[in-house]
A and B are shown apart, each in its own frame.
Chain A
């Protein structure tokens, strides 16, 4: 409980920092034209802060829930291929069906994520060993990536590739408040529903048979987790693109705070995910370069070493 309180305080602090930095330009504007300064906050900076915090929380909680469901500490949104699936769905909706409403795009993204997760359940099964899950996830992610490229290459619009690069590389630049709402309203509902599954997910940590004997329905629970995760991820990916590794790191850290319980780690994972993504985006914004770096690049750069470390420790425990 104390850990969660500290996390929430840290989250508020990072969010405030994210909203106000760079401070000098904001304060300068505040002196010259307070109305414009408020507009800058609400129209430009607020959607970005909300999206970074919300998407980070989605990655953390869906990562934790998927890991609990697949009984595997590597089953994160990116590694299961669901982020790639969501991107494929959004591209299909945006460039082939001419969908422009953010909410409808979010629906396409959710459908794409749901399809990839169901395909993973079909290919690897619910309790697959780490290697099977990784390989099946990799295959799905590659196929979804190739599908996305193909759809973009053949898209009616000749600018699709250029356009989508900005859209899907994982970035929060120039997103509007309605776009943020389209991503975050369905995502919040799905995340609340996920968080309510934390007790049965902890029971599932003892294995499907013990959980089922205690009244949990493992098959229904995994379908629910997959559906809610797909909705939350699909909505966020359709607005900001795929962002890697937060969904792996946040649950990993959260389980240190939940004494190893995968279900109890859901809420801490959401808070940690939000803090991490806000901090990564803050880093991007403070970078001196004239051109903006997509935030997905930063999270991947920071996440890869941790991923390798987890795989190494898993290999060691498997061998002992």
Chain B
């Protein structure tokens, strides 16, 4: 199978070292890594938001060359900050995710994310969790080939964590590549593939099972598996400050 997303040497000065990555259609991929390791930088580079060097191809198209409406069909991005300044309705925020007006699609998304009660309310008056759902609906709107989601499960209640995982799986089944950054390692088994980012580069790439066993994960996060639970790794040197 050919790759849907191909990157060649994407790089952000000081935060993301030259990175090559290939993702197939239908893949549901988790990006994990300690705070400040470069997860968001990787997603932002893939979305073409910040890219000092390198190339991102989606379905063979260079995203930097794609005009705005075309780009919305190629990829969408959910930022980790959910702040919205202007009093636009949830309905209209979703509409801004579409390259051309399509009221039926908006209504479907409102139903899918159960936004009926807040559809006409201004987004800057919603709770963070509600805003997250509105922005997830916006990222799904154009049914883009690549979905880049920065912490999609943050600020969501348990029902919506599971529901969002389902929606991501459905998008992958429909033929997209879905790439989401996570903090909660307990969700990793829901993903087909896990990418570990550490110190601005991809440190490991494999299935959740492989990653959870690997020394690289333990080293990056400074935690280890002990009796089926996580605990903080003991420092190698017993006389160190810890």
Binding site for B on A (CB under 8 A): 71-72, 200, 202-203, 205-210, 212-216, 255, 259-262, 317
Contact = CB atoms under 8 A, between A and B. Distances in A.
A209 B96 contact: no
A71 B87 contact: no
B88 A260 contact: yes
Dominant secondary structure of chain A at its interface with chain B: loop
A135 B76 CA distance: 36
B96 A202 contact: yes
Contacts of A210: 77, 79, 135, 138
Nearest to B83: A207
Contact of A213 (B69, B75, B86): B75
Given A259-B89, A262-B86, 10 more contacts: A207-B81, A209-B77, A210-B135, A210-B138, A212-B50, A213-B49, A215-B71, A255-B86, A260-B89, A260-B122
A132 to B, nearest CB: 14
Which one of B79, B135, B138 has the greatest number of beta carbons of chain A within 10 Å? B79
B92 interface: yes
B67 A215 contact: yes
A212 B47 contact: yes
A205 B89 CA distance: 12
B68 interface: yes
Which one of B67, B68, B72 has the greatest number of beta carbons of chain A within 10 Å? B68
B48 interface: yes
Interface of B: 44, 47-50, 66-72, 75-77, 79, 81, 83-89, 92-93, 96, 122, 124, 135, 138, 148
B96 A213 contact: no
A205 B86 contact: yes
Contacts of B76: 213-214
Contact of A209 (B49, B85, B124): B49
18 contacts: A71-B86, A203-B68, A203-B96, A205-B84, A205-B86, A206-B93, A207-B81, A208-B49, A209-B49, A212-B48, A213-B49, A214-B71, A215-B66, A215-B67, A215-B68, A215-B72, A255-B86, A260-B92
B68 A200 contact: yes
A203 B86 CA distance: 11
Contacts, number: 73
Contacts of B67: 215
Which one of A202, A214, A260 has the greatest number of beta carbons of chain B within 10 Å? A214
Given A207-B79, A259-B92, A214 B72 contact: yes
B68 A214 contact: yes
A205 B88 contact: yes
A203 B88 CA distance: 11
A213 B77 contact: yes
Contacts of A207: 79, 81, 83-84
B88 A259 contact: yes
Nearest to A206: B96
Contacts of B84: 205-207
B82 to A, nearest CB: 9
A206 B71 contact: no
Contacts of B68: 200, 203, 214-216
Nearest to A70: B85
A72 B79 CA distance: 20
B88 A213 contact: no
A206 B77 CA distance: 11
Contacts of B44: 209
B192 to A, nearest CB: 23
A235 B93 CA distance: 36
Nearest to A209: B79
A208 B49 CA distance: 9
B15 to A, nearest CB: 15
- Per CB-CB distance, the 5 closest pairs between chain A and chain B, nearest first, are A215-B68, A213-B77, A215-B71, A213-B47, A260-B87
